[in-house]
């Protein structure tokens, strides 16, 4: 029976390991700065170009549609060619596309430039996830994913605050140009890190009787073998769908909470951005905390990596609904939304670890790419545009309340996935990773 224990994987020096982790962290940080800075610029763009909330939401959604379109072919390059080179090239593309936004003169032009950001970002999350899965042992996987994913809320918050500040002082177009520069520098540095060799797609051939001391035969995986590896892993498929529900809510909130605070509570633009950033920043507690709890609990209950996301999703829905509905306008509303911010990312680290745990090591980037497709196509890209349309029709407060129900759906999906996790884990091929020369 297989467990999380795996053959000894490739080892770098402690310095090299954490240097690569730091670069991965910074790239994810600036990924989300570039991705989400536009949300704090909505009031300025709407004033200049007369956009509706639906059109503003489209500026966020188009990034995720581009990611969906390109993530799968790029993930094949990651698994079959090079993780580090793909990461570096994609970071260059998304940074240059962000800079291009500064030179747009109309809504269609800005929409096209924003789609370029998504093309670049398509390769990052699968490649980074696969690299981290090789850098750190399986028993630390949730914790390290949690620490890595702290960069997401930090980047989102920094993008919202920086965008509003720069727009106020130097104009909204300059905000895009300024935040594009750090990503370009880090992308160049990433070309020179060390990675593990590409893993051969082989699987053990089942034999009726294998003599003691004789190793079982291996065969190259066919395309149908790869398809079956995913389609016959229900814990993985349910994790993808659960992730989508959580991202539907998260991106809806990050896109429209500034608008909510301005319209409902009359907060000035900069204050609304700061209030939203405070909630988003709470994920720096939730992400590593969720990973730590999952790894600790997993020592006693193997299904913990999907039970933690189920609990996280339930708490997120309850807290956001309470904050936005029961206590709307009261002094207690913001503290409840702060707690919701902690709960909303506690699912991610262990859910991401599941996408790596239950697949062949040579398919790790593709596995997370499929998760990215699901979460973006069904979650991140739909969230802003659906919430924007609901806001246009029923008001921003009602729109955000309705968005919170997506987390309840995720709770059910993660819980169902936990029922299959151990069985799926036991089927995984164990492969030793070796370092590049």
Domain ranges of the chain: 14-198+229-426
> Which pLDDT score is estimated for 376?
78
- Residue with the two structure tokens 């467990």: 3
> Which pLDDT score is estimated for 100?
93
CA-based nearest residue to 184, from 264, 276, 97, 305: 97
CA-based nearest residue to 31, from 135, 183, 184: 183
> Which pLDDT score is estimated for 7?
45
Which residues in the chain show pLDDT less than 50? 1-2, 5-8, 209
Interval 347-386: pLDDT, tens: 998 999 999 889 888 788 888 888 988 887 889 888 888 9
Cβ count within 10 A of residue 98: 30
Calpha distance 220→414 (Å, rounded): 32
Calpha distance 370→367 (Å, rounded): 5
> Which pLDDT score is estimated for 195?
73
> Which pLDDT score is estimated for 145?
86
Handedness of CA 197, 433, 28, 80 (dihedral sign): positive
CA-based nearest residue to 240, from 34, 431, 414: 414
Alpha helices in 232-282 (DSSP H): 234-265, 269-281
> Which pLDDT score is estimated for 205?
62
| CATH placement of domain 14-198+229-426 | 1.20.1250.20
Calpha distance 26→42 (Å, rounded): 25
- Dihedrals φ, ψ of 207, to 5°? -125, 145
Reading the block at residue 216, the tokens are 């079982």
**Contacts made by residues 330-338, CB under 8 angstroms, sequence distance 24+:** 334/275, 337/279, 338/278, 338/279, 338/282
> Which pLDDT score is estimated for 235?
96
User: H-helix or E-strand containing 426?
Assistant: helix 421-426
C-alpha 422 chain-centroid distance: 24
> Which pLDDT score is estimated for 68?
81
> Which pLDDT score is estimated for 418?
96
- Dihedrals φ, ψ of 75, to 5°? -65, -30
- Name, in order, each residue with C-beta under 8 angstroms of 371's C-beta and a sequence gap of 6 or more: 239, 240, 243, 352, 355
CA-based nearest residue to 150, from 342, 396, 18, 319: 342
Using the CB atoms, write b or e for 378-396: b if 16+ within 10 Å. Answer: bbbbbbbbbbbebbeeeeb
């Amino acid at each position: 029976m297989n467990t999380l224990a795996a053959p000894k994987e490739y080892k770098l020096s402690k310095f090299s390991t954490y240097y690569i982790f730091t670069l991965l962290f910074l790239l994810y940080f600036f990924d989300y700065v570039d991705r989400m800075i536009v949300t704090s610029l909505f009031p300025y763009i709407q004033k200049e170009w007369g956009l509706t909330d639906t059109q503003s939401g489209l500026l966020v959604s188009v990034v995720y549609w581009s990611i969906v379109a390109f993530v799968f072919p790029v993930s094949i390059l990651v698994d079959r060619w090079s993780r580090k080179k793909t990461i570096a090239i994609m970071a260059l593309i998304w940074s240059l596309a962000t800079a291009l936004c500064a030179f747009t003169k109309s809504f269609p032009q800005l929409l096209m430039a924003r789609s370029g950001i998504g093309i670049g970002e398509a390769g990052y999350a699968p490649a980074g996830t696969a690299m981290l899965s090789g850098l750190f042992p399986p028993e630390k996987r949730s914790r390290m994913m949690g620490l890595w994913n702290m960069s997401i809320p930090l980047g989102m918050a920094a993008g919202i605050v920086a965008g509003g500040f720069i727009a106020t002082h130097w104009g909204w177009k300059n905000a895009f140009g300024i935040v594009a520069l750090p990503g370009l520098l880090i992308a160049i540095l990433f070309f020179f890190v060390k990675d593990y060799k590409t893993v051969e797609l082989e699987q053990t051939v089942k034999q009726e009787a294998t003599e003691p001391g004789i190793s079982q035969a291996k065969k190259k995986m066919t395309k149908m073998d790869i398809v079956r590896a995913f389609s016959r892993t229900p814990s993985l498929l349910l994790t993808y769908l659960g992730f989508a529900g959580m991202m539907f809510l998260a991106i809806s909130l990050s896109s429209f909470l500034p608008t909510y605070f301005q319209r409902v509570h009359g907060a000035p633009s900069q204050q609304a951005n700061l209030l939203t950033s405070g909630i988003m920043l709470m994920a720096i507690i939730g992400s590593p905390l969720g990973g730590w709890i999952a790894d600790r609990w997993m020592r006693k209950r193997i299904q913990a990596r999907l039970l933690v996301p189920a609990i996280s999703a339930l708490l997120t829905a309850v807290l956001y609904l309470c904050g936005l509905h029961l206590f709307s306008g009261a002094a207690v509303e913001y503290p409840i939304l702060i707690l919701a911010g902690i709960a909303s990312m506690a699912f991610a680290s262990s859910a991401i670890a599941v996408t790596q745990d239950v697949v062949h090591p040579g398919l790790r980037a593709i596995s997370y790419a499929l998760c990215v497709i699901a979460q973006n196509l069904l979650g991140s890209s739909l969230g802003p545009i659906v919430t924007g349309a609901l806001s246009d029709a029923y008001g921003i407060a009602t729109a955000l309340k309705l968005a919170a129900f997506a987390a309840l759906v995720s709770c059910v999906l993660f819980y169902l996935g936990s029922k299959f996790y151990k069985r799926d884990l036991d089927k995984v091929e164990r492969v030793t990773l070796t370092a590049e020369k």
